[in-house]
Structure 1
Amino acid sequence: MNKKTDTLRYDLVDSEDTIAMGNTLAQLIKNELKKGLIVYLHGELGAGKTTLTRGFVQGMGHKGNVKSPTYTLVEPYELNAWNVYHFDLYRLADPEELEYMGIRDYFGENSCCFIEWPEKGEGLLPKPDLILTIEYVGSQRQVTLESKTELSQLLLDKMLELPSQPFNTCL
Structure 2
Amino acid sequence: MNASTLFRVPRINVRDASTIAILMALSYVLGKFGIHTPIVVFTFSFLVIAVMASMYGPIISAVVAGVCDVMFTLLSGQMYLPGFTLSAMTAAFIFGLFLYKNEKFSPWKAIVAQLIITLLVNTFMNTLFLTLSPLTSGYSFKVFIMTRLVKQVITTPIQMVLLVVVLGNPIMQKLIKSRWK
Bucket of the pairwise TM-score, normalised by the shorter protein: 0.3 to 0.5
When the two structures are superposed, what TM-score results if normalisation uses the length of structure 1? 0.33
Structure showing the higher strand proportion among its residues: 1
User: Which structure has the larger Rg?
Assistant: 2
Structure showing the higher helix proportion among its residues: 2
